[in-house]
């Protein structure tokens, strides 16, 4: 009988002790404005007696420790060391959870909605009077972003060329390739037909809206809305990023950590039609379009051509998956076998 009373009493005392303690739970990923210190509240969820430590600075100069990608890790050992230096900290009354928080240092940018603008156009009258002005105008047109969403760097030994006046010359600028340092071919023609050929190398970064994971994900997972968030990042032109509008129906082909940017190397489209689904098949013949329901005999992703059978009638046919619940057949598609074939 005594034993039966002691066990619940111990459980009650343990629960009360837990409520009195503070709990520090590391977040998997945190985003901090570049130039700001990292505080405990930035990288962890705090409760109980841990809450007064919210403003405790964990790293006052994170940019010094971050790599070129502006990323660094805050570990549980970092947290423990900082807490231990506080006179009011009691190790016996604080529970620490988690392993590592990936911190992303981000530059302050305009709201994502503000950066979505129409593709800019460049009027000949707005192009400046130097070679550099023509290069910048061409890059604005090439990448379809305004000049304030381009970070351009130039070679010191090409300063004279870039400052060359273009008055009286017709100037044609063409990018050669697409990489973080882009060669630009510059051809100039004067009124007498003389031709001047030059080449300049320009470092290019473009402000892009990208997708980052909110937690670690494994190969084969299909992204749900809570698994990612949008972010702004300066990227080289050849970085195969995935735009936020293209995230739907994405399945991972490889593992990805928390806070990482999603690229085409990580993702593949998930199946949007499953075997057995009834979908609307659009049959296109010239300008005539007919719609008919059919049952999918295989699963498919957007762009796949899979087999269907009509809900009424016999036979099987191939159609291309275009969207969830929709496929298209262009007349002349090959009929496979009869229903009993």
Residue 296 scores a pLDDT above 90: yes
Q: What is the DSSP letter of 214?
A: S
Angle, CA of 273, 279 and 285, to the nearest 5°: 115
Secondary structure class of 290 (helix, strand, coil) = strand
- pLDDT of res. 333: 37
For residue 263, name the pLDDT band (cuts at 50, 70, 90): confident
pLDDT for res 253: 86
The CATH classification of domain 207-267, taken from the options 3.30.930.10, 1.20.1560.10, 3.40.50.300, 3.90.1210.10: 3.90.1210.10
**Interatomic CA distance for residues 128 and 113, integer angstroms:** 30
Chain mean pLDDT for the chain: 79
User: Residue 313: its pLDDT value, please?
Assistant: 80
Q: What is the pLDDT of residues 135-155, one digit of tens each?
A: 998 888 888 788 889 999 999
Q: Is pLDDT at 303 greater than 60 in this prediction?
A: yes
Classify domain 2-106 at the CATH topology level.
Answer: eubacterium ventriosum atcc fold (2.60.480)
Domains 2-106 and 278-330 share a fold: no
Share of the chain above pLDDT 90, in %: 20
192-240: pLDDT as tens digits: 888 999 999 999 999 998 989 988 999 888 888 888 888 889 999 888 8
Q: Which residue has the tokens 């570049």?
A: 34
Tokens of residue 337, six digits: 């076998």
Q: pLDDT-derived band of residue 53, with 50, 70 and 90 as boundaries?
A: confident
SS3 156: helix
Q: Which of 323, 237, 340, 313 shows the shortest CA–CA distance to 277?
A: 323
Indicate the domain borders of the chain: 2-106, 113-200, 207-267, 278-330
- Please provide the CATH number assigned to the domain covering 278-330: 2.30.30
3-state SS of 141-173 is: HHHCCCHHHEEEEECHHHHHHHCCECCCEEEEE
Share of the chain above pLDDT 70, in %: 80
57-107: pLDDT as tens digits: 988 888 778 766 677 888 888 888 888 888 777 767 788 888 888 888 776
């Amino acid at each position: 009988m005594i034993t039966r009373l002691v066990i619940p009493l111990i459980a009650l005392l343990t629960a009360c002790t837990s409520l009195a303690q503070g709990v520090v739970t590391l977040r998997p990923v945190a985003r901090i404005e570049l130039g700001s210190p990292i505080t405990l509240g930035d990288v962890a969820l705090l409760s109980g007696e841990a809450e007064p430590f919210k403003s405790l600075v964990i790293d006052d100069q994170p940019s010094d420790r971050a790599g070129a990608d502006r990323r660094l890790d805050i570990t549980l050992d970092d947290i423990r060391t900082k807490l231990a230096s506080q006179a009011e900290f009691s190790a016996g009354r604080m529970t620490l959870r988690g392993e590592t928080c990936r911190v992303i240092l981000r530059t302050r940018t305009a709201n994502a909605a503000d950066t979505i603008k129409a593709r800019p156009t460049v009027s000949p009258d707005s192009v400046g009077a130097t070679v550099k002005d023509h290069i910048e105008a061409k890059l604005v047109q090439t990448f379809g972003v305004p000049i304030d969403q381009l970070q351009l760097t130039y070679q010191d030994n090409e300063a004279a060329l870039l400052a060359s006046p273009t008055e009286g010359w017709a100037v044609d600028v063409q990018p050669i390739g697409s990489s973080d340092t882009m060669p630009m071919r510059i051809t100039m023609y004067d009124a007498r037909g003389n031709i001047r050929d030059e080449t300049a190398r320009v470092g290019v970064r473009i402000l892009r809206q990208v997708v980052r994971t909110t937690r670690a994900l494994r190969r084969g997972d299909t992204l749900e809305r809570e698994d990612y968030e949008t972010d702004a990042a300066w990227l080289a032109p050849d970085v195969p990023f995935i735009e936020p509008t293209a995230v739907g129906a994405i399945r991972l082909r490889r593992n990805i950590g928390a806070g990482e940017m999603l690229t085409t190397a990580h993702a593949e489209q998930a199946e949007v039609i499953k075997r057995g689904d009834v979908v609307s098949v659009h049959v296109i013949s010239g300008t005539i379009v007919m719609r008919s329901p059919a049952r999918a005999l295989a699963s498919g992703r957007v762009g796949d051509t899979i087999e269907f059978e009509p809900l009424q009638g016999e036979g099987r046919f191939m159609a291309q998956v275009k969207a969830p619940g929709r496929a298209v057949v262009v007349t002349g598609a090959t009929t496979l076998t009869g229903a009993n074939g």
